[in-house]
């Protein structure tokens, strides 16, 4: 299952009241160029979102405020990655089914995506997803990008 947990570069201030700063450089810190960024906010604890896979999109997910569980599966294996610090990012290759659970009120989910929005590249039915994986196999997670940057803290499992 192709995903990466990445350590996003973060600068903290000696004066904690000033807060922190996290930044991401496309194609250096993450293995794709960014075409789109969106955020999900004002979501209450225990809400579930997602329930889809992308056929084309590479995505970086991170949570600058709060705690969000990201559940990912390729239809066989399942992993839960908890985004609980602004410096923790999750890179999802295309072809993975994902669900998100808000573990804290008002947690913010930020997503950087490799493609412009296209509703046609979503799979929103889990049965359809399993059928897609059956037909396409591991090519669903095709590793077409090359990446020679740094900053990974753990690699795909």
Interface stretch with ligand T46, choices 11-19, 46-54, 72-80, 143-151 (CB under 6 A): 46-54
Among 21, 45, 80, 117, binds ligand T46 (CB under 6 A): 117
What would you measure as the largest C-alpha separation in the chain, in angstroms? 54
Interface stretch with ligand T46, choices 4-12, 33-41, 77-85, 134-142 (CB under 6 A): 33-41
Nearer to ligand T46, 15 or 69 (CB): 69
111 touches 61 (CB < 8 A): yes
107 touches 30 (CB < 8 A): no
State the residue number with the nearest CB to ligand T46: 117
Nearer to ligand T46, 28 or 36 (CB): 36
- C-beta of 98: minimal distance to ligand T46 in Å? 6
Decide if 85 is catalytic.
no
3-state class (DSSP) for residue 95: coil
- Measured CA to CA in angstroms, residue 113 lies from 13, 15, 41 at distances of 29, 33, 17
Q: Name the residue among 10, 59, 62 with its Cα closest to residue 36.
A: 59
Q: What's CA 33's distance to the chain center, in Å?
A: 14
Give the residues lining the site for ligand T46 (CB under 6 A). 36, 38, 40, 49-50, 52, 100, 109, 111, 117
Q: What amino acid positions are annotated as catalytic residues?
A: 52
């Amino acid at each position: 299952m192709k995903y990466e947990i990445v350590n996003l570069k973060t600068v903290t201030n000696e004066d904690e009241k000033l807060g922190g700063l996290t930044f991401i450089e496309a194609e250096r810190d993450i293995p794709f160029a960014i075409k789109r960024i969106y955020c999900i906010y004002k979501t209450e604890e225990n809400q579930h979102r997602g329930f889809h896979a992308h056929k084309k999109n590479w995505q970086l997910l991170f949570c600058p405020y709060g705690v969000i569980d990201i559940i990912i599966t390729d239809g066989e294996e399942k992993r839960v990655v908890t985004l609980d610090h602004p410096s923790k990012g999750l890179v999802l290759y295309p072809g993975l089914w994902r669900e998100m659970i808000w573990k804290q009120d008002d947690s913010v989910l930020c997503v950087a995506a490799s493609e412009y929005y296209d509703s046609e590249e979503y799979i929103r039915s889990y049965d359809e997803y399993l059928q897609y994986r059956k037909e396409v196999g591991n090519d669903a997670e095709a590793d077409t990008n090359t990446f020679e940057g740094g900053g990974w803290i753990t690699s795909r499992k």
